[in-house]
A = this chain, B = another copy of it.
Amino acid sequence: MLIEAIAQMQQWSEAMRTQGNIIGLVPTMGFLHEGHCALIKTAAQECSVVITTVFVNPLQFGPSEDFARYPRDLERDIQLATQAGATVVFAPTVEHMYPAGYAAMIDPGPIAEKFEGIFRPGHFRGVATVVAKLFNITKPHVAYFGQKDYQQTLVISQLIRDLNFDIRMRVLPTVRQDDGLALSSRNVYLSPQERQQATILYRALQEAEYAIRQGERRRETINTLLRHTIEAGCPEIKIEYAAAATAETLEEPEFFASGSRVVLLLAVRLGTARLIDNSLVEVP
């Protein structure tokens, strides 16, 4: 079922809650791929009703970014979401989400300032704001996000905790193609050759994971390994960041402690696409 009006979505969710349902929310920007569908499938297993939102949020795009050309296909999204187990697809218009006079913005704080925050200033303010709106519109018990947008999961976790949203957050693993490329709606921007070249991201993550498992704990060394692997494998790629950080806080210590969790974070440009990927590793 498609719902486009905000008030109707709120009424539906309220009625569902009153009837004792557990509402799962899978927020997306649409153009669904298997990564989204995996979130929806898990939500359908864990909740009695599932709302998938499809909204390309202008607030989280910078002025020179790809808002206008971001791929859209609502009919296909409704079909895929429904097949995966969504009860409702909520697809509001930009005009209803941000009517004339719209002004409120949520600043998630320092966790939003690093990595993506440096290269996409204001991005996470836009993300936090739209997610808060979607929470208030869809009233979920559980919200599902992909690990693919790792820093985003930290931002939303902070949002939920700080603003006391009574919502449980579930982060599910990144879904990859057979050659390791993380699924992303933005992969459509890649030419066939770039699509091949993009596999170096996953290989770089694997190299760094392997080094950490073999005992490497020096952050700079891990960063250099990530960077060199990408540069050697594909000189056409422009690296925005390739960095290891403490998984929970994104802090960047000189050495990672034994037993700590490290996140390896990549953001690159390849052709007209901007790609991100990440991996979590436990330090032995």
Contacts and interface: CB of A to CB of B under 8 A. Distances in A.
Contact of A104 (B6, B18, B106): B106
A128 to B, nearest CB: 7
Contacts of A165: 136
A139 B163 contact: no
A129 to B, nearest CB: 8
A17 to B, nearest CB: 7
A111 B103 contact: yes
Interface string A98-110: 0000111111111
A95 interface: no
Contact of A108 (B20, B104, B111): B104
Contact of A107 (B104, B133, B158): B104
B128 A104 contact: yes
Contacts of A18: 17-18, 20
A164 interface: yes
Contact of A136 (B6, B10, B104, B164): B164
Contacts of A14: 166
Contact of A105 (B20, B106, B111, B132): B106
A14 B22 CA distance: 13
Contact of A166 (B103, B104, B139, B166): B139
A162 B110 contact: no
A107 B133 CA distance: 14
A40 interface: no
A226 interface: no
Interface residues of A, number: 30
Nearest to A111: B103
A208 interface: no
Contacts of A20: 18
A139 B17 CA distance: 13
A222 interface: no
Interface string A206-217: 000000000000
Contacts of A17: 17-18
Given A133-B163, A163-B132, A105 B103 contact: no
12 contacts: A6-B164, A18-B20, A102-B162, A104-B107, A104-B109, A104-B158, A104-B159, A105-B109, A133-B163, A133-B164, A136-B166, A137-B164
Interface of A: 6, 10, 14, 17-18, 20, 102-111, 128-129, 132-133, 136-137, 139, 158-159, 162-166
Given A107-B107, A136-B165, 11 more contacts: A10-B164, A102-B162, A103-B108, A103-B109, A105-B109, A129-B163, A132-B132, A133-B163, A133-B164, A136-B163, A136-B166
